[in-house]
Amino acid sequence: AKTATFKAAKLKESGKYLNNPYRGWFGLTAYTLTEGGADNYVAQRLENDLEDDAYKQDLVLAEFNLKNYNGRDGNPTQIGANGIAQFKQVLDAWSNKGKHLIIRLVYDPRTTTAEDASLYGDEDYNGMPAAKAAEPASIETLKGHITQLAPIINSHKSCVYMVQGTSMGAWGEMHTSNFTPDIDGSRKTTYANIKNVISHMGAQIDKSIFLAVRRPSYYRNTVSSSAPSSSAAFKGSLAA
């Protein structure tokens, strides 16, 4: 048998940046898709982001606000050609920069002011009624947006690490939504709607890209009541 020996390694402290997108730190940015032309907010925001030292992190959480396609107040229910092009433009730029992305699709990425609460007259949702007013009236519209954007997400699967949430509610965090009526106590409607959307995402989005819901209880009640077995964990199922 061999005898183990100790040999001290000579280590040198370094401040060199490590390219490791999965260590947990990420930058945060947001874009609102519009039917504007090339000289638009998205292009300007993207240019600023790519030059900003705050985005030296290798992992970036990018929120995309789809409120301009919610079918309310004269808005269309489908993302137009310019909105699709803007979405692709953002993913192309971050991919070319060598970054990895967490994508979150939202309809209301902000808190609601007292003015909003007065306007919408709904004080029952923690002072954030604008989240409900910003999202589509139909869950099929929401699913349609996922269908429209999925091919672009899939074509960038080498840089898209995760699609986070199901687009519902304030900040896309799956609360304060017409589709997640948590205050009813039973949550049956909440779970049914989340299962509807997350199953659609599982069918549309490449299996190599992770999906995420907000709470463990959402996972247990909509996807699987237990963790997948070791033999099933890497087979591309929705639960995995």
Q: What does the pLDDT look like over 77-86, one tens digit per residue?
A: 999 999 999 9
User: How many C-beta atoms surround the C-beta of residue 92 within 10 A?
Assistant: 15
Average of pLDDT values for 197-221? 91
**Backbone torsion region of residue 176, taken as left when φ is above 0, otherwise alpha when ψ lies between -120 and 50, otherwise beta:** left
| Whole-number pLDDT of residue 120 | 40
pTM (2 d.p.):
0.82
Q: Are strands 27-32 and 210-212 parallel, antiparallel or unpaired?
A: unpaired
Measured distance CA(115)–CA(83) in Å, rounded? 29
Average of pLDDT values for 99-109? 91
Measured distance CA(222)–CA(199) in Å, rounded? 9
